[in-house]
Amino acid sequence: MAFLDYSGPQKPAPSQPKAALVFLHGLGNSPQTCIPLIQDRLSQLDPTLSQDIKFVFPSAPRLCSTINGGQCLPCWFDLYDWPVKVGVRDDKQGIRQAVQQIQDEVAKLEAEGIPKSRIVLGGFSQGATLALSTAYGDTTIEQPFAGCIALSGWLALRQELQCTPAACQTPLFWGHGQFDDSVKPEQQFFGVKKLLQQGVQSTTTKSYEMGHGVSAEELCDIAAFLKRVIYKQRPSTESIEKTESSDTQTQTALV
What are the structural domain ranges in the chain?
19-243
* Distances from the Cα of 33 to the Cα of 38, 72, 125, 175, 253, angstroms: 9, 18, 13, 19, 12
Q: What is the mean pLDDT of the chain?
A: 88
45 by Cβ neighbours in 10 Å (0-12 / 13-18 / 19+) ranks as: middle
- Of 40, 52, 90, 180, the active-site residue reads 180
- Of 43, 50, 125, 207, the active-site residue reads 125
Other beta carbons within 10 Å of 94: 18
176 is catalytic: no
Band the pLDDT of 17: cuts 50, 70, 90.
Answer: confident
- Residue pair 126/76 in contact (Cβ under 8 Å)? The answer is yes
239 is catalytic: no
46 is catalytic: no
Burial 144-162 (b: 16+ CB within 10 A, else e): bbbbbbbbbbbbbbbeebe
Look at residue 37 in the predicted model and tell me its pLDDT. Answer: 87
Question: How many Cα neighbours within 13 Å face the side chain of 182?
Answer: 22
Q: Please state, in angstroms and rounded to a whole number, the distance separating the CA atoms of residues 148 and 119.
A: 9
**Fold for domain 19-243?**
Rossmann fold (3.40.50)
pTM of the shown model:
0.87
> Over 90: is that where the pLDDT of 246 sits?
no
- Of 65, 212, 215, 221, the active-site residue reads 212
Look at residue 16 in the predicted model and tell me its pLDDT. Answer: 78
Higher pLDDT, 20 or 8: 20
How big is the chain, counted in residues? 255
